[in-house]
Amino acid sequence: MEESLRKQTESVARQIEAIHTLQPGAAPPPPLAPRSLRPVLSTLRPCDPISPGSFDPQIRAEADRQGVAPELLRAVISAESAFLPCAVSDKGAMGLMQLMPGTAAAMGVSDPLDPDDNLRGGVRYLGQLLERYGGDLRLALGAYNAGPALVDKFGDIPPIPETQNYVREILKKLAIPPPAAPKP
């Protein structure tokens, strides 16, 4: 979760800097306190993290609907957004499950920053990836992070450090042994 918070802090800082660059004469961006997103996010839009426990009924319902383990969903949401429903990455991924705009549209998500709508779309997409890769969680997670085109191209988790770490961290949270290192 600390890595996810660090990434969110960096993303928010870049977004605020971009806002101030586009608005000459605007007040300088607030200083970033280490590990504290709340003051920064409050300058953009109110956003409180969702307690995983309070969101559990929705997670369980969507997990049952798509046949995906609720523990997997909690791990993905934690890695993607640290349960911040208004999270927006520097690449444009949005919401709890960090859906890209095209993916959100394809999954029928009308408001990617709405936690319930984002969860429905993200779980549907993850379910499709699990089906596409024959239930291979490693490949589905690699595709969720880097896109299915790269997983298909390499026939495995793409050799992208961010993606490799992402898959490893989620598998660790689920107490699943990490994949073997690729052969040279």
Is 35 within a domain?
no
Counting the structural domains of the chain, the total is 1
Distance CA 28, CA 5 (A): 23
Q: What CATH number does residue 82 fall under?
A: 1.10.530.10
**Stretch 61-78: mean pLDDT:** 96
Asked whether the beta carbons of 1 and 81 are under 8 A apart, the reply is: no
Is 121 within a domain?
yes
Distance CA 14, CA 27 (A): 15
Higher model confidence: residue 173 or residue 30? Answer: 173
Domain that holds residue 92: 46-132
In this predicted model, what pLDDT tens digit does every residue of 32-59 receive, in sequence order? Answer: 433 333 333 334 455 788 988 889 999 9
Is 24 within a domain?
no
Catalytically annotated residues: 80
Q: What is the pTM of this model?
A: 0.73
Give the pair of three-digit tokens for residue 55. 């969101």
Distance CA 184, CA 162 (A): 19
In this predicted model, what pLDDT tens digit does every residue of 2-36 receive, in sequence order? Answer: 555 555 556 555 555 554 454 455 555 444 433 33
